[in-house]
Structure 1
Amino acid sequence: MPRTSAKNAEDVVAALDLHSFGDTRGVLVTSMNDIPGYRVVRVLTTVYGLTVRSRNIIADIGAGFKSLIGGELGILTKMLYDSRNSAADKMIGECLAKGGNAIIAMRFEGGEIEGRFAEVCAYGTACVVEKID
């Protein structure tokens, strides 16, 4: 079975124009429990962003053929990146709606429904932080 090297994965990301989840609208987002240089002033609540995506028939056929020879399934990789970005954007929107300017302990969870739909959940702790002088 072919293995995906780090270089191969970087090439796929570059070819598909994929990047980190983009515009955070000024919200600091981290998977850490604190943000170096900032102090948590107030913890607000857990915030979530959810998305469920379906593949189209063309993607299924293309992925089926590609899986026979092995390698990166680019169209499905792009779908998962898009799902991740959508979930993160919704989570950030919820943080802003609650009055937060940061999300700490951010995580992603993913799965599938009925083998046909990809689900992604982004979640973390919304809080208000201030820069330490």
Structure 2
Amino acid sequence: MIIVTTDFVPGYDVQEVKGFVRGSTVQSKNVGRDILAGLKNLVGGEIKDYTSMMDSARQQAIGRLVQHAEEKGADAVIAVRLETSSITNAASEIMAYGTAVTLSKRSSG
């Protein structure tokens, strides 16, 4: 599966647009992480547990995007975007979305 943020894939033509696809996950905070994050706020710096949690959530959302695209028979997703929103004070949603397409290799003629 080819995933790009652009509206095209270099060297390929869009053969067919399969439609909008998305994948999302909701991640909640962890009490233990919150305590450590509170301590980190006192001295400053990166909160590595949250960075890791959000990276994992993005990967999960992209994985679900790919699954949705495969269900539509696509071999690529173009114009991919990621969005994060707060659901509650303790949880965030990560959404990946884009346009599922099939591609054909551009002839060099």
Instruction: State the TM bucket, normalised to the shorter chain.
Output: over 0.9
C-alpha separation between the residues in 1 aligned to 2:92 and 2:43?
23
C-alpha separation between the residues in 1 aligned to 2:92 and 2:50?
10
> Please, which of 42, 48, 51 is the counterpart of residue 74 of structure 1?
48
> Please, which of 7, 12, 17 is the counterpart of residue 38 of structure 1?
12
1:86 pairs with 2:69:
no
Q: What is the root-mean-square deviation of aligned Cα atoms in Å?
A: 0.7
C-alpha displacement of 1:132: 1.3
Task: Show the counterpart of 2:100.
Answer: 126
State how many pairs are aligned.
107
- Of Structure 1 and Structure 2, the greater strand share is in 2
C-alpha displacement of 1:63: 0.6
C-alpha displacement of 1:101: 0.2
Gaps of 5+ in 1: 1-26
Contact 1:80–1:118 (CA<8 Å) still a contact in 2? no
Task: Show the counterpart of 1:112.
Answer: 86
1:47-66 alpha-carbon deviations (Å, 9 max, x no partner) = 00010011111011011110
C-alpha separation between the residues in 1 aligned to 2:70 and 2:41?
41
Q: Which has the higher contact order (CA 8 A, sep 6+)?
A: 2
C-alpha separation between the residues in 2 aligned to 1:113 and 1:68?
26
Matched-pair identity in %: 36
Give the TM-score, by structure 2 length: 0.96
1:13-53 alpha-carbon deviations (Å, 9 max, x no partner) = xxxxxxxxxxxxxx100000000001100001100001001
